Structure 1
Amino acid sequence: MNRLIVALWFALVLLAGPALAERLEYQGHEQVGETLRIDTRRGPLVLSFRTEAVVEAFYDFEDSGEHPSRTLDPNAQAVTADLVVEDERLVFSTDQLRVKIDKSPLRLSYWRGDELLISEEGGAFLERTLRGFRFRLADDDEKLLGGGQRVLGMDRRGHRLRLENRPDYGYGTESDQMYFSIPGVLSSRNWMLVFDNAARGHADMGSTEPDILQFEAEGGRLAYLVSAGDDFEHTLEHYTTASGRPPMPPRWALGNYASRFGYRSEQEARDVVQKHIDKGFPLDAIVIDLYWFGPDIKGHMGNLAWDHEAWPDPEGMMADFAEQGVKAILVTEPFILTTSDRWQEAVDEQVLALNMAGDPKTFDFYFGNTGLLDFFKPETGDWFWAILKDLMDQGVAGWWGDLGEPEVHPPSTKHVAGMANEVHNAYGHHWAESIHERHVRDFPQRRPFIMMRAGSTGSQRYGMIPWTGDVDRSWDGFKPQVELALQMGLFGFGYIHSDLGGFAGDEEFDAELYTRWMQYGVFQPVYRAHAQDQIAPEPVFHDERTQRIVRDYIRLRYRLMGYNYTLAWQHSTTGLPLMRPLFYSDPGNPDYFNETNTYLWGDAFLVAPVIEPGVDSWPIRLPEGVWFDFFDGSRNDGGQVLEVPVTLDTLPVMVRAGSFVPKVDVVQSSDDYSSRNLELHYWHDRSVDRAEGEMIEDDGHARTSIEEGLFERLTFDAASVEDDLTLTLEREGSYPGMPETRELTVVVHNPPEVDEIRIDGARVAVEGSGVATDDGQAWLDDAGRLHVRTDWKHPGLLLELKP
């Protein structure tokens, strides 16, 4: 019935407008530089390739209004494409992607070689209250991922999704609309389409009409991008080349956070930090929620200044935290309450969104009567940043932007960029942009930290670190977290993460749920427990068993800091997310497009969090190949669903045969991070004759380290011929403070039978193999792993293991 209603409604809109149902016709064309302009009676269609595998189609109709692209990186340039003119069509193409432009009626179709990817069903439509595109899907079996944060399963085909960033407090195993919507799809046939429009609207993924993909918006830009690389990784890489890569976060952002709603005083915050240190929990940051600017939840939002009764010496506190290696992150919101200390200042400075009379728009919501900052206005960004910069000069290290959907956004709210419905989904995007660009200007060598709940396509280039919102503190809240993270990562938001342990509700601590969620956190991009404080989110306040297990996993997180930092570098340089779907490993397996529990953490790890209580085994889906259990070392053939025995201390984590994983020493804070003492683990198997890996090292905080080449790349290569194994290690590049020599221990899992070891040609004896040793450079441990220790100096090292 709902589908029928939607179809009838759309038909009525077709009849209501003078030109919606009328097909466009080609009137002429002109190629100017890298762009192709096609004239129609309603205005030009402009095509431009943003990379060889990404093309933008922009219908610049005369009556569509001025709407800038928010998806495209303004610094990205169009690339050259070839044009072939035929009687009935034009073909605009690169070596990787072709656009066929039929002249009558005007219609675009997209091809990779001879493969039709997708085609416009009727081009653009534009009416007074509705605009968008209709596309005809080429394959009935095609799966469509995308749409952003939803709990619907990975394949969203058959759904009609509301495109509107909106909170879903306490969500669990079902949610069709959440904090961060994405107007885009990724096809199981390896093409991506992104509607470059931030207005409220809908994405109809074959719900109303099974073979039609339709994007609708209440205003905004009439444009979209198509990306189609050689494989899924390259499709995302090309898309993020066009829309912008996420900058490198500071290294400390990959550490452990103390966070809750919320610390009510300076003394409480100091006590929490000290408790982590006393109990041996590594800690890198403390997140201070809204009590920093007022004693109550309601009535103070917008003060944006310390409440000195509760926080008498915030500068001294943050200086002490810095000595302990802990960074302070403050929450801010885009709402200025009429009861706040800054209300009149905001009115006088004209930084608020307006009502239809031209006065500051006010409305009621949970926290009080409020106005909303207009971040589409540069003067608003300047006013807000002046406050933030002063706080950063006091010692604040990062920013948490909450409620940025915006949580309440009445349609009658007027921004300089348009009415609320036209720009709603771009609000968080412009908020992040305003902070990022001023941060870069005033702190050019310092990496920004900007955690925000909502944005739009392209927001990743402003360093946005999103999270999955106010999830229910329950098993139902835990279950969808992998799905949510994978969906966001497919569109460049690789730092998506959950409030570990759950945020909303519950009055009784569930130790098993909490432990399982915190274990999963080791293999999600940001390790931050956060919750309403009737139950402490920090592990230091729980029972000894919970503390022991969680402490061990947090220490593992720090042991893997070099590996995780390399994933962050890959995300910044290629767009690859840290959490990766199984179909990246085997795109030919249709089951992998539906998988919502097992995922890849980088290339090496396969993880399946335990999301049910009281189990003694848990399934993990193994792609083809050979996989080793990370905890017990057992070897497993891929291409199966493996039931793994688990205790509360363990979860299914596998390592792909042929993987290199660096480990470093555990430190209390990443300020003390060092790879001078480096363990390099290699999982050997005779089925793998060649393997490679890498590790990226820099100073962990310089913003321009990638652009200036101030980093070191450690590369690892393995070659196996029968029982001979050769590992070649190379170092290239440099940065200030780089270790000249590393004390290196190579750990070979499942090693071949070894009678002879050579390091750079010099023979080394093996302890425990029946061969005498004088220097203890090599030994076998009780689990049968081979350890080889040496000093690794620039530029390289050759390790040979021979039978």
Structure 2
Amino acid sequence: MKISDGNWLIQPGLNLIHPLQVFEVEQQDNEMVVYAAPRDVRERTWQLDTPLFTLRFFSPQEGIVGVRIEHFQGALNNGPHYPLNILQDVKVTIENTERYAEFKSGNLSARVSKGEFWSLDFLRNGERITGQDTNNQRNYMFERLDLGVGETVYGLGERFTALVRNGQTVETWNRDGGTSTEQAYKNIPFYMTNRGYGVLVNHPQCVSFEVGSEKVSKVQFSVESEYLEYFVIDGPTPKAVLDRYTRFTGRPALPPAWSFGLWLTTSFTTNYDEATVNSFIDGMAERNLPLHVFHFDCFWMKAFQWCDFEWDPLTFPDPEGMIRRLKAKGLKICVWINPYIGQKSPRL
């Protein structure tokens, strides 16, 4: 979702408010809570009709700082939610001075200025790696984090666009869009940069990322929600970022060894039957190419009846025998499925 209309205007129909001044800072157990107003509220009369942002800083694991920004609290949120590995009693340091409030976990800290101009900075060992300033704007709800000169962004799931995400608009919503568009099947609201940190946006719903595409020096992410929660994950190496990220979100079991072998497929539109399949497999053997898995694409079923798990009897009259013969060659078998049933299928 684009917020700006060029460099100075905003999109029609949007009303933007963003933190301008810290009103109060509290320490609640192991969390730092910052209350911020979108205007100067030093005078009591200015406190009557002004909304308040609640920014909650917390650490689920050492070297990870979570930020939850709320505009209106109390909105119903029934999920779904990502299962995260949140540790208890993570050692944090909270410093609240006249000039700033700082929350620190490991070598990573989040610092909020308390002066006339609002800023939120993320620092590693005191050196700023990203953050926002008073020009940043938040509707319900979006955030902008800085990109440094030469800083490149990677991640956001399986994508078919350029590996470097700079300049791209990414919607993390799974779609059956093929393999040559900006849509993707496996979206993940996590990115990392060559400055040695990662960012996880903790929202299973659609998250819209503008990676240097709306503001060339910013990564912007927005959600249709009354709150926004994200985690900045320290490195400083890519391996260290991914180690912390996977310890936090969970790690998959190791797939079986055969799954790392060579797969061969009929492709999407190939007109094929058992004889065609055998010609592909025999061709691999003739060329001394090892083969571990054969994948049948969608036309193992009847057209317009996907996905009812019924083999097309005209093309494959003996599927059980065919699979048995293929397995005798030492192959694993995979078939294409999608989570819907066509209206022509009797199973609908």
Displacement after TM superposition at 1:239 (Å): 1.7
**Counterparts in 2 of 1:212 and 1:63: CA distance versus 1, 3 Å:** farther
Question: What is the aligned partner in structure 2 of residue 576 from structure 1?
Answer: none
Displacement after TM superposition at 1:268 (Å): 4.1
Out of 23, 26, 29, the position equivalent to 1:29 is 26
Aligned to 2:253, what secondary structure does the other structure show?
A: coil
- Which structure 1 segments of 5+ residues have no match? 344-803
Question: What is the aligned partner in structure 1 of residue 122 from structure 2?
Answer: 110
Question: What is the aligned partner in structure 2 of residue 56 from structure 1?
Answer: 66
Correspondence list, 1:601-680, <5 A: none
Displacement after TM superposition at 1:304 (Å): 2.3
Aligned length, in residue pairs? 324
Percent of aligned pairs sharing the same letter: 19
Question: What is the aligned partner in structure 1 of residue 10 from structure 2?
Answer: 10
Aligned to 1:119, what secondary structure does the other structure show?
A: strand
Give the partner amino acid of 1:242.
F
Question: What is the aligned partner in structure 2 of residue 121 from structure 1?
Answer: 133
Question: What is the aligned partner in structure 2 of residue 231 from structure 1?
Answer: 237
Question: What is the aligned partner in structure 2 of residue 338 from structure 1?
Answer: 343
Aligned to 1:332, what secondary structure does the other structure show?
A: coil
Out of 130, 142, 147, the position equivalent to 2:151 is 142
Would you say the 8 A contact 1:26–1:106 is kept in 2? no
Would you say the 8 A contact 2:123–2:130 is kept in 1? yes
Return the alpha-carbon distance in structure 1 between the equivalents of residues 337 and 346 of structure 2.
15
Out of 194, 216, 237, the position equivalent to 2:222 is 216
Return the alpha-carbon distance in structure 2 between the equivalents of residues 67 and 38 of structure 1.
25
Displacement after TM superposition at 1:95 (Å): 2.7
Displacement after TM superposition at 1:191 (Å): 1.9
Question: What is the aligned partner in structure 2 of residue 282 from structure 1?
Answer: 290
Displacement after TM superposition at 1:249 (Å): 1.5
Question: What is the aligned partner in structure 1 of residue 46 from structure 2?
Answer: none
Hey, which of these two has a bigger chunk of helix by percent?
A: 1
Return the alpha-carbon distance in structure 1 between the equivalents of residues 299 and 163 of structure 2.
37
**Counterparts in 2 of 1:144 and 1:257: CA distance versus 1, 3 Å:** closer
Question: What is the aligned partner in structure 2 of residue 161 from structure 1?
Answer: 169
Return the alpha-carbon distance in structure 2 between the equivalents of residues 24 and 13 of structure 1.
25
Return the alpha-carbon distance in structure 1 between the equivalents of residues 74 and 165 of structure 2.
36
Return the alpha-carbon distance in structure 2 between the equivalents of residues 108 and 4 of structure 1.
21
Give the partner amino acid of 2:111.
K
The Cα RMSD (Å) is 3.7
**Counterparts in 2 of 1:24 and 1:181: CA distance versus 1, 3 Å:** farther
Would you say the 8 A contact 2:61–2:86 is kept in 1? no
Give the partner amino acid of 2:232.
V
2:202 is the counterpart of 1:189: no
Give the alignment's TM-score, normalised by structure 2: 0.75
Give the partner amino acid of 2:344.
T
Q: Deviations over 1:15-70 (max 9, x none)?
A: x35xx2454745453433x5445556657433332332222212244266527575
Return the alpha-carbon distance in structure 1 between the equivalents of residues 222 and 265 of structure 2.
39
Return the alpha-carbon distance in structure 2 between the equivalents of residues 167 and 25 of structure 1.
45
Q: Deviations over 1:611-668 (max 9, x none)?
A: xxxxxxxxxxxxxxxxxxxxxxxxxxxxxxxxxxxxxxxxxxxxxxxxxxxxxxxxxx
Aligned to 1:336, what secondary structure does the other structure show?
A: coil
Would you say the 8 A contact 1:190–1:232 is kept in 2? yes
Return the alpha-carbon distance in structure 1 between the equivalents of residues 75 and 271 of structure 2.
48
Displacement after TM superposition at 1:242 (Å): 1.6
**Counterparts in 2 of 1:328 and 1:207: CA distance versus 1, 3 Å:** closer
Aligned to 2:87, what secondary structure does the other structure show?
A: coil
Out of 87, 92, 107, the position equivalent to 2:103 is 92
Out of 321, 324, 329, the position equivalent to 2:329 is 324
Aligned to 1:304, what secondary structure does the other structure show?
A: coil
Give the partner amino acid of 1:193.
V
Return the alpha-carbon distance in structure 1 between the equivalents of residues 34 and 271 of structure 2.
59
Q: Deviations over 1:758-777 (max 9, x none)?
A: xxxxxxxxxxxxxxxxxxxx
Give the partner amino acid of 2:192.
L
Q: Deviations over 1:579-618 (max 9, x none)?
A: xxxxxxxxxxxxxxxxxxxxxxxxxxxxxxxxxxxxxxxx
**Counterparts in 2 of 1:291 and 1:136: CA distance versus 1, 3 Å:** closer
**Counterparts in 2 of 1:314 and 1:55: CA distance versus 1, 3 Å:** farther
Question: What is the aligned partner in structure 1 of residue 41 from structure 2?
Answer: none
Give the alignment's TM-score, normalised by structure 1: 0.36
Give the partner amino acid of 1:111.
L
Return the alpha-carbon distance in structure 1 between the equivalents of residues 150 and 292 of structure 2.
47
**Counterparts in 2 of 1:266 and 1:145: CA distance versus 1, 3 Å:** closer
Give the partner amino acid of 1:58.
R
**Counterparts in 2 of 1:163 and 1:221: CA distance versus 1, 3 Å:** farther
Aligned to 1:125, what secondary structure does the other structure show?
A: coil
Question: What is the aligned partner in structure 2 of residue 250 from structure 1?
Answer: 256
Displacement after TM superposition at 1:326 (Å): 0.8
Question: What is the aligned partner in structure 1 of residue 57 from structure 2?
Answer: 47
Displacement after TM superposition at 1:113 (Å): 0.5
Displacement after TM superposition at 1:252 (Å): 0.8
Return the alpha-carbon distance in structure 1 between the equivalents of residues 342 and 276 of structure 2.
26
2:315 is the counterpart of 1:310: yes
**Counterparts in 2 of 1:332 and 1:207: CA distance versus 1, 3 Å:** closer
Return the alpha-carbon distance in structure 1 between the equivalents of residues 277 and 127 of structure 2.
59
**Counterparts in 2 of 1:48 and 1:304: CA distance versus 1, 3 Å:** farther
Question: What is the aligned partner in structure 2 of residue 676 from structure 1?
Answer: none
Displacement after TM superposition at 1:259 (Å): 0.5
Would you say the 8 A contact 2:103–2:109 is kept in 1? yes
Displacement after TM superposition at 1:327 (Å): 0.9
Return the alpha-carbon distance in structure 1 between the equivalents of residues 212 and 286 of structure 2.
56
Aligned to 1:335, what secondary structure does the other structure show?
A: coil
Displacement after TM superposition at 1:316 (Å): 3.7
Question: What is the aligned partner in structure 2 of residue 728 from structure 1?
Answer: none
Question: What is the aligned partner in structure 2 of residue 300 from structure 1?
Answer: 305
**Counterparts in 2 of 1:143 and 1:282: CA distance versus 1, 3 Å:** closer
**Counterparts in 2 of 1:155 and 1:222: CA distance versus 1, 3 Å:** closer
Question: What is the aligned partner in structure 2 of residue 291 from structure 1?
Answer: 299
Displacement after TM superposition at 1:330 (Å): 1.2
Aligned to 1:80, what secondary structure does the other structure show?
A: coil
**Counterparts in 2 of 1:278 and 1:225: CA distance versus 1, 3 Å:** same
Give the partner amino acid of 1:52.
E
Would you say the 8 A contact 1:199–1:219 is kept in 2? no
Return the alpha-carbon distance in structure 1 between the equivalents of residues 210 and 287 of structure 2.
52
Aligned to 1:339, what secondary structure does the other structure show?
A: coil
Would you say the 8 A contact 1:90–1:102 is kept in 2? yes
Question: What is the aligned partner in structure 2 of residue 787 from structure 1?
Answer: none
Aligned to 1:51, what secondary structure does the other structure show?
A: coil
**Counterparts in 2 of 1:210 and 1:78: CA distance versus 1, 3 Å:** farther
Question: What is the aligned partner in structure 2 of residue 437 from structure 1?
Answer: none
Displacement after TM superposition at 1:254 (Å): 1.4
Displacement after TM superposition at 1:112 (Å): 0.8
> Comparing both chains, which one has the higher relative contact order based on Cα–Cα distances under 8 Å and sequence gaps of 6 or more?
2
**Counterparts in 2 of 1:290 and 1:113: CA distance versus 1, 3 Å:** same
Would you say the 8 A contact 1:256–1:282 is kept in 2? yes
Question: What is the aligned partner in structure 2 of residue 611 from structure 1?
Answer: none
Displacement after TM superposition at 1:275 (Å): 5.1
Aligned to 1:317, what secondary structure does the other structure show?
A: helix
Would you say the 8 A contact 1:90–1:101 is kept in 2? yes
Give the partner amino acid of 2:96.
E
Larger radius of gyration: 1
- Which structure 2 segments of 5+ residues have no match? 37-50
Q: Deviations over 1:121-161 (max 9, x none)?
A: 3577234xxx2112344x444344445535446361xx251
